[in-house]
């Protein structure tokens, strides 16, 4: 008996071969859910069973089977319409899986309308999306809970800034805007206060270095101005280059800095006042010692000398007593002169800072044996009394430190004028000093020198290295 040839048999074989070439699961089902054709990817997806169940619905857990039946009936009721949807399902083996369905309708050789399903496992994709969603939720939580105002705008072509695309709640409260209103604003008016010349430099810095920090004045909706410190960072937002501005209100900080500055100014003025009083007291004491005590001793010396001349030759013992008393008076007068010079050298008031430094250097050399080489200007610098005193006291302190700590045998001293400043340099060839010793808060001598210079807008710089000596550079402006 000869078998009758089925003209659709080759078509079914070809269709099956085409199905198996797809990496996505494919199947044809009727309105009852019976599978008429499927591919290898379909078998692998639903359990790697070489003989998959004929009923598509049986691939799913009992909890989801009614849902699948309803879905098939709904699709057949919308005949000839393509659909794409996705959902999470539980399979018969209790696996949770996200599936994406793409549907179409085909007719077989019996004119039977079959549902063509393209099924894709998108579980990994959905897990990534959920992680990103959670990450975005955390980001928004941090973004809105931050103590500082935050703004995000896109960095457009040509390095221009868009309107704000994201702002946090602190930014809205600080600038008195609603979120929608603030997102219609741009950073040029809100952050940069229309100072566009500065914006170009800042954007270039952000683009080249990835960040920038600058001070600005933000403008609120009502026109109030808030001093702020802005930290700007180049970021990626929605896959586009963007700039995150983090704004910190520095009103309180500026007020605190102003108070600290005012307090420091008052303390320096007080220190200057006390130093002036101290110098005046020293001058007064020197004058009193010189004029009163010195004159008294001189008068006493004259009287004793007159008494000595009236003694007879046979009163040698009394003459010796007179000579001893006269020598004691001379020693006392010399002591008064030395004390007077230490308290307030007359040369400083009478001749100025140059001769005073020269006199002090010679006295220091005589007392310590350390050679002093002076390079002083021919003409006396025009420096007022208070500044001359400050420079001289700094010089004395520097010499005292050399005598105590440097273990030097030579000191080079230079005094000159440079760019409206008086420059005094004291350099020794001693053992040097460490950076920690220079910056030590217990180094009261160094602190005293720096404070004296600072009172007149000057400064003291100390440079040193071990076994290479120490250099003290004093700069005092002629005009504060």
**Owner of token pair 């920690």:** 436
User: Quick one: how far is CA 212 from the chain centroid?
Assistant: 11
Quick one: which H or E segment has residue 115?
A: strand 113-121
How far is the C-alpha of 296 from the C-alpha of 329, rounded, in Å?
10
DSSP designation for 418: E
In this predicted model, what pLDDT tens digit does every residue of 193-250 receive, in sequence order?
756 667 888 888 888 888 888 888 888 888 888 888 888 888 888 888 888 888 888 7
275 is in which domain, residue-wise? Answer: 254-342
pTM score, whole prediction: 0.44
SS3 content of the chain, % helix, strand, coil (to 5): 50, 25, 25
- Quick check: is 138 in a domain? no
How far is the C-alpha of 322 from the C-alpha of 356, rounded, in Å?
38
- Looking at the structure, tell me whether residues 240 and 213 fall in a common domain: yes
Residue 395 is part of a domain; what is its CATH number?
3.30.565.10
- Residue that finishes a domain, picked among 342, 377, 393: 342
Structure tokens at 475: 């700069």
- Give me the helix-helix angle, 444-454 and 251-288, nearest 10°: 100
Do 428 and 402 touch, CB atoms closer than 8 A?
yes
- Looking at the structure, tell me whether residues 223 and 281 fall in a common domain: no
Do 151 and 167 touch, CB atoms closer than 8 A?
yes
- Looking at the structure, tell me whether residues 443 and 391 fall in a common domain: yes
Give strand ranges (E) for 30-185: 35-38, 83-90, 96-107, 113-121, 149-155, 161-167
At residue 452, the pLDDT reads: 82
458, with CB counted inside 10 A (0-12, 13-18, 19+), is buried
- Quick check: is 363 in a domain? yes
- Looking at the structure, tell me whether residues 32 and 106 fall in a common domain: yes
Quick one: which H or E segment has residue 105?
A: strand 96-107
β-strands 459-464, 211-219 pairing: unpaired
- Looking at the structure, tell me whether residues 32 and 61 fall in a common domain: yes
- Looking at the structure, tell me whether residues 259 and 373 fall in a common domain: no
DSSP designation for 3: P
| Residues with pLDDT less than 70, the chain | 1-16, 48-52, 79-81, 109, 132-142, 194-197, 254, 271-273, 275-276, 279, 283, 286-287, 290-291, 340-345, 441-442, 480
Quick one: which H or E segment has residue 417?
A: strand 410-418
At residue 194, the pLDDT reads: 57
- Quick check: is 56 in a domain? yes
Cα angle, residue 263 at apex, residues 257 and 231 outer, rounded to 5°? 5
At residue 309, the pLDDT reads: 81
Structure tokens at 57: 């619905």
Quick one: which H or E segment has residue 347?
A: helix 346-350
- Looking at the structure, tell me whether residues 293 and 327 fall in a common domain: yes
At residue 134, the pLDDT reads: 65
Cα angle, residue 117 at apex, residues 116 and 122 outer, rounded to 5°? 165
- Residue that finishes a domain, picked among 202, 228, 249: 249
At residue 427, the pLDDT reads: 92
At residue 3, the pLDDT reads: 37
Quick one: which H or E segment has residue 122?
A: none
189, with CB counted inside 10 A (0-12, 13-18, 19+), is exposed
- Residue that finishes a domain, picked among 69, 99, 127: 127
Centre a 10 Å sphere on the Cβ of residue 475 and count the other Cβ atoms it contains. Answer: 18
How far is the C-alpha of 171 from the C-alpha of 149, rounded, in Å?
4
- Looking at the structure, tell me whether residues 359 and 470 fall in a common domain: yes
Centre a 10 Å sphere on the Cβ of residue 393 and count the other Cβ atoms it contains. Answer: 17
How far is the C-alpha of 18 from the C-alpha of 20, rounded, in Å?
5
The three-state secondary structure class of 458 is: coil
- Quick check: is 139 in a domain? no
User: Quick one: how far is CA 468 from the chain centroid?
Assistant: 35
Residue 112 is part of a domain; what is its CATH number?
3.30.450.20
- Looking at the structure, tell me whether residues 332 and 302 fall in a common domain: yes
- Looking at the structure, tell me whether residues 351 and 471 fall in a common domain: yes
- Quick check: is 3 in a domain? no
Number of structural domains in the chain: 4
CA atoms within a 13 Å half-sphere pointing along the CA-CB vector of 447: 7
- Quick check: is 75 in a domain? yes
Do 175 and 150 touch, CB atoms closer than 8 A?
no
- Looking at the structure, tell me whether residues 220 and 106 fall in a common domain: no
- Looking at the structure, tell me whether residues 338 and 418 fall in a common domain: no
Strands across the sheet with 113-121, in order?
35-38, 25-29, 113-121, 96-107, 83-90
Furthest-apart CA atoms within the chain: distance in Å: 185
With the C-alpha atoms ordered 172, 176, 182, 186, is the resulting torsion angle positive or negative? Answer: negative
- Quick check: is 264 in a domain? yes
Give strand ranges (E) for 70-210: 83-90, 96-107, 113-121, 149-155, 161-167
- Quick check: is 2 in a domain? no
For the chain, the distance separating the N- and C-terminal CA atoms, rounded to the nearest angstrom, is 126
Bridge partners (DSSP) listed for residue 88: 98
């Amino acid at each position: 008996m000869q078998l009758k040839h089925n003209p659709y048999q080759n078509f079914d074989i070809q269709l099956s071969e085409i199905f198996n070439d797809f990496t996505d699961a494919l199947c044809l089902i009727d309105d009852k859910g019976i599978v008429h054709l499927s591919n290898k990817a379909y078998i692998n997806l639903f359990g790697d069973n070489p003989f998959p169940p004929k009923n598509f619905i049986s691939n799913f857990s009992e909890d989801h089977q009614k849902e699948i039946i309803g879905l098939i009936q709904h699709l057949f009721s919308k005949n000839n319409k393509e659909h794409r949807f996705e959902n999470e399902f539980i399979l018969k083996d209790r696996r949770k899986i996200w599936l994406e369905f793409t549907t179409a309708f085909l007719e077989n050789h019996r004119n039977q309308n079959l549902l063509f399903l393209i099924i894709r496992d998108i579980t990994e994709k959905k897990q990534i999306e959920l992680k990103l969603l959670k990450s975005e939720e955390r980001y928004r939580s941090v973004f809105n809970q931050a103590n500082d105002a935050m703004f995000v705008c896109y960095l457009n072509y040509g390095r221009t800034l868009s309107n704000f695309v994201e702002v946090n709640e602190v930014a809205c409260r600080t600038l008195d805007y609603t979120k929608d209103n603030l997102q219609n604003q741009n950073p040029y008016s809100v952050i940069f206060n229309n100072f566009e010349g500065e914006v170009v430099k800042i954007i270039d810095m952000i683009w080249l270095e990835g960040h920038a920090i600058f001070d600005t004045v933000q403008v609120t909706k009502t026109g109030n101005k808030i001093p702020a410190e802005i930290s700007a960072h180049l970021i990626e937002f929605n896959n586009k280059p963007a700039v995150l501005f983090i704004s910190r209100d520095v009103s309180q900080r500026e007020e605190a800095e102003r108070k600290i500055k005012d307090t420091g100014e008052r303390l320096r003025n007080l220190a200057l006042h006390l130093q002036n009083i101290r110098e005046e007291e020293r001058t007064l004491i020197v004058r009193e010692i010189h004029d009163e005590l010195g004159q008294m001793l001189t008068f006493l010396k004259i009287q004793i000398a007159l008494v000595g001349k009236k003694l007879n030759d046979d009163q040698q013992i009394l003459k010796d007593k007179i000579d001893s008393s006269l020598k004691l008076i001379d020693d006392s007068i010399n002591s008064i002169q030395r004390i007077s010079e230490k308290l307030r050298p007359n040369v400083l008031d009478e001749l100025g800072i140059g001769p005073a430094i020269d006199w002090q250097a010679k006295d220091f050399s005589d007392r310590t044996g350390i050679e002093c080489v002076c390079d002083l200007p021919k003409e006396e610098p025009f420096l007022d009394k208070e500044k001359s005193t400050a420079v001289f006291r700094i010089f004395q302190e520097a010499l005292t430190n050399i005598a105590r700590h440097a273990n030097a045998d030579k000191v080079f001293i230079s005094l000159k004028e440079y760019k409206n400043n008086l420059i005094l340099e004291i350099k020794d060839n001693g053992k040097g000093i460490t950076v920690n010793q220079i910056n030590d808060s217990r180094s009261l001598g160094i602190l005293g020198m720096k404070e004296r210079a600072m009172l007149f807008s000057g400064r003291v710089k100390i440079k040193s290295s071990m076994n290479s000596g120490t250099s003290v550079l004093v700069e005092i402006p002629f005009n504060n």
